[in-house]
Structure 1
Amino acid sequence: MADSEQRFAQQLKKGVLEMLVLRLLADAPSHGYQLIVRLRESSGGMLELKEGTLYPILYRLEEEGCIASAWNRPDKQLSSGKVPRRVYSVTETGRTVLEQETAAWHRFVDCVEQYVGRDPQ
């Protein structure tokens, strides 16, 4: 990938990460590493997040009431394995925000498509 293409992709990614995290959590509660893996796998490697990028997003979403978290305990089996992990789930507020952001995203894409979908003059 060329440098300019990579920079452009990074900027696009920054604008949608919170929405994507909410989408993944709306599908299934997850701990941080699961989110990183699910995002990477479902995007064919295009959306590769580092922990230093993901966790501030999770903390911000939790502070805004969009997600909630709880420590799993191995005996409760909220996640696989024996190591306690913080499991995140979307709240009703988060579902509402996700709907609003998804609608805004579709409007934005439609607007951009008007320009990039046509032949240059």
Structure 2
Amino acid sequence: MGAIDGDKLRGHLETMILSNLEQGEAHGLEILRRLEEAGCGLLRLKEGSLYPALYRLEADGEVEAVWEVESHGRRGARRRIYRLTAKGRGKLADGRAEWGQFVRILGGILGAPA
């Protein structure tokens, strides 16, 4: 199987981010690392896709973000730490239901085993 990127992810990235944050709060690059790790090396995300999705989720109240108090012994700027909100949990539940329906419909069309 080839890399999973771009068009294949469109429409599902926000749900994947919410699911990722269900595991615990994280900064953007940690979210990216977790998603790529969960994708077994086939999932290829770009920061240029991740951060706009995080900003949309934050604007919609589905995640909240706070700045790190300090950089925890590492060099560089403080990071924004994202966490899932109650509204985000609701959107995640809806996204999972939508994904399940999508998989069932396409599986039926393609003749995939149930």
* RMSD, matched Cα: 2.1
Q: Does 1:71 align with 2:67?
A: yes
Larger Rg: 1
Whether the 8 Å contact between 2:64 and 2:84 is mirrored in structure 1 is: yes
Q: Structure 1 unaligned segments of length 5 or more: list them.
A: none
Shift of 1:9: 5.5
Counterpart residue identity of residue 88, structure 1? Y
2:22 counterpart residue number: 26
Aligned partner of residue 74 in structure 1, secondary structure: coil
1:48 to partner: Cα distance: 1.6
Q: TM-score, normalised by structure 1?
A: 0.82
Q: Displaced runs of 4+ in structure 1, greater than 4 A? A: none
Q: Distance in 2 between matches of 1:25 and 1:54?
A: 13
> TM-score, with normalisation over the residues of structure 2?
0.86
Q: Secondary structure at the match of 1:70?
A: strand
Which structure has the higher relative contact order (CA within 8 Å, separation 6+)? 2
CA contact (8 A) 1:74 1:81 kept: no
Task: State the identity %.
Answer: 35
* 3-state SS, counterpart of residue 58 of structure 1: helix
**Structure having the larger proportion of residues in helix:** 1
